Amino acid sequence: MTDDVLVVHGGTPLEGRIRVRGAKNLVSKAMVAALLGDSPSRLFDVPKIRDVEVVRGLLGLHGVKVTDGAEDGELVFDPANVESASTDQINVHAGSSRIPILFCGPLLHRLGHAFIPDLGGCHIGPRPIDFHLQALREFGATVDKRPEGLHLSAPNGLHGTKFALPYPSVGATEQVLLTAVMAEGVTELRNAAVEPEIIDLICILQKMGAIIKVHTDRVIEIQGVPKLHGYTHRPIPDRIEAASWAAAALATRGHVEVLGAQQADMMTFLNIFRSVGGEYEVTDTRPPKLGDPGQEGGIRFWHPGGELNAVALETDVHPGFMTDWQQPLVVALTQARGLSIVHETVYEQRLGYTEALNSMGANIQVYRDCLGGTPCRFGRRNFKHSAVIAGPSKLHAADLVIPDLRAGFSHLIAALAAEGTSRVYGVDLINRGYEDFEAKLADLGAHAERP
């Protein structure tokens, strides 16, 4: 742990321009989808993050040859040898990511059986997989839970089904999509998640030959097809990373342009950003023409000076305010005048990181009650899932240990906004979802170094 530390000298506004590439929460799923094709797939703008490495390793073990394409960030997946692969080493990936659960459908289609090692991912509550398993059973799979992982088989193949999710889970919706596309017959999924990353995954599957209808009211209908081919796809940019840098600009009274950030996928964040008092400008992409090199679009975010305003927000499924946006934004809210309220309704235990902010001088109280307008699943269930942030607070340096990805980025922002020198331990976790974050910090003029 001691060499996994970043020394951060706070108090300097972040100023400059960075770029975001393909979304962590799409790219890893797109990589799994390549398993379903009977010919190679090609994915562009793949960020160099740990989750991509983990899925690349898993695909390799399952016989998918993954190679770097000609363009920086391009990966090519050749699934020709899936049937003959030996997966003896699969447990080396136990505990490293949540993505292995999404291999169920594709492996059942290709092999008739699947072994899924223990899942990893962020420690932000219990994170059950009951919806996934229930859906797989509805398709006709048998699921055997053993201490070393899940053993699945589909002795009679997979068949389309009518299924309603108890909650619009992103992962469970992806599970159904990746399974239904090649199941025999029609699948109707109700209460599906409709995050932009899901829609992008649907675009990929459609490119592969799938037939998927997205109806109103969270209903998705999939008509199974016997065969899919490879895809070529440029994924949507990472809207969580873009919002994280926006929050960093606000918290440090800086000015950051995020190339690649897309307004349409960030509307809810942009509304809150403006309500807090942050300013932004959307710049459109101008394609190159003769005598004009063109310009890559993005969004410029800045602190206009003066005081920030307190706000009340609830995290929610799309099109609500993303749960992964709240941790970075809360750091900026410690600098707003008045009482801000954050009601976390997606994960029951995603506010633990506020203790570290309090150790730096923030004034954040967490409550078991639903403090937002809507009572949520976690009310009266003893989970501290609402926060009241009183500001503005002068943040001072501290020694911090990163608990998970987004909380980790919020610790980093707090250290950059604070006066004095902080030591942030466990920063390697941030590489799970933020490409080259140390180089980006340097580009933005942050004073941070490895000791």
Ligand X SMILES: CC(=O)N[C@H]1[C@@H](OP(=O)(O)OP(=O)(O)OC[C@H]2O[C@@H](n3ccc(=O)[nH]c3=O)[C@H](O)[C@@H]2O)O[C@H](CO)[C@@H](O)[C@@H]1O
Ligand Y SMILES: C=C(OP(=O)(O)O)C(=O)O
Residues in contact with ligand X by the rule CB under 6 A: 25, 98, 127-132, 167, 169-172, 193, 322-324, 346-347
Task: Indicate the residue among 161 and 315 with the shorter CB distance to ligand Y.
Answer: 315
Q: How many CA atoms lie within 13 A of 33 on its CB side?
A: 33
Q: Is the peptide bond before 392 cis (omega within 30 degrees of 0)?
A: yes
3-state secondary structure the chain: CCCCEEEEECCCCCEEEEECCECHHHHHHHHHHHHHECCCEEECCCCCCHHHHHHHHHHHHCCCEEEECCCCCCEEEECCCHHHCCCCCHHHHCCCCCHHHHHHHHHHHHHCEEEEECCCCCCCCCCCCHHHHHHHHHCCCEEEEECCEEEEECCCCCECCEEECCCCCHHHHHHHHHHHCCCECEEEEECCCCCHHHHHHHHHHHHCCCEEEECCCCCEEEECCCCECCCEECCCECHHHHHHHHHHHHHCCCEEEEECCCCHHHHHHHHHHHHHCCEEEEECCECCECCECCECCEEEEECCCCCEECCEEEECCCCCECHHHHHHHHHHHCCEEEEEEEECCCCCCCCCCHHHHHHCCCEEEEECCCCCCCCCCCCCCCCCCEEEEEECCCCECCEEECCCHHHHHHHHHHHHHCECEEEEECHHHHHHCCCCHHHHHHHCCCEEECC
Task: Indicate the residue among 302 and 347 with the shorter CB distance to ligand Y.
Answer: 347
406 binding ligand Y? (CB under 6 A): yes
Annotated binding site for phosphoenolpyruvate: 24-25
Residue 201 interacts, among ligand X, ligand Y, none and using kind-specific CB cut-offs from 5 to 8 Å, with none
Nearest approach in angstroms of CB 99 to ligand X is 7
98 binding ligand Y? (CB under 6 A): yes
Task: Indicate the residue among 303 and 406 with the shorter CB distance to ligand Y.
Answer: 406
241 binding ligand Y? (CB under 6 A): no
Residue 129 interacts, among ligand Y, ligand X, none and using kind-specific CB cut-offs from 5 to 8 Å, with ligand X
Nearest approach in angstroms of CB 340 to ligand Y is 21
Q: Which stretch binds ligand Y (CB under 6 A): 110-118, 119-127, 193-201, 371-379?
A: 119-127
405 binding ligand Y? (CB under 6 A): yes
Annotated binding site: 24-25, 98, 324, 346
Residue 433 interacts, among ligand Y, ligand X, none and using kind-specific CB cut-offs from 5 to 8 Å, with ligand Y
Annotated binding site for UDP-N-acetyl-alpha-D-glucosamine: 98, 324, 346
303 binding ligand Y? (CB under 6 A): no
Nearest approach in angstroms of CB 91 to ligand Y is 19
Task: Indicate the residue among 122 and 333 with the shorter CB distance to ligand X.
Answer: 122
Of 104, 122, 203, 370, the catalytic one is: 122
Q: Which of residues 13-52 bind ligand Y (CB under 6 A)?
A: 24
Specify whether the CB–CB gap between 346 and 193 falls below 8 A. Answer: no
Task: Indicate the residue among 335 and 410 with the shorter CB distance to ligand Y.
Answer: 410
Binding residue for ligand Y (CB under 6 A) from 6, 49, 101, 122? 122
Nearest approach in angstroms of CB 150 to ligand X is 13
122 assigned to active site: yes
Q: Please state, in angstroms and rounded to a whole number, the distance separating the CA atoms of residues 64 and 248.
A: 38
Task: Indicate the residue among 108 and 405 with the shorter CB distance to ligand Y.
Answer: 405
CB-based closest residue to ligand Y: 121
In this structure, the dihedral spanned by the alpha carbons of residues 331, 351, 97 and 30, taken in order and rounded to 10 degrees, is -60
239 binding ligand Y? (CB under 6 A): no
> What tokens were used for 253?
């009274």
Nearest approach in angstroms of CB 420 to ligand Y is 28
Nearest approach in angstroms of CB 14 to ligand Y is 21
Residues touching ligand Y: how many (CB under 6 A)? 9
Task: Indicate the residue among 336 and 357 with the shorter CB distance to ligand Y.
Answer: 357
Binding residue for ligand Y (CB under 6 A) from 433, 435, 441, 446? 433
121 binding ligand Y? (CB under 6 A): yes
Specify whether the CB–CB gap between 44 and 234 falls below 8 A. Answer: yes
Look-up of token digits 């770029």: 19
Q: Which stretch binds ligand Y (CB under 6 A): 121-129, 189-197, 288-296, 377-385?
A: 121-129
Q: Which of residues 321-340 bind ligand Y (CB under 6 A)?
A: 324
Nearest approach in angstroms of CB 26 to ligand Y is 11
Q: Which residues are catalytic?
A: 122
Note the residues at the interface with ligand Y (CB under 6 A).
Answer: 24, 98, 121-122, 124, 324, 405-406, 433
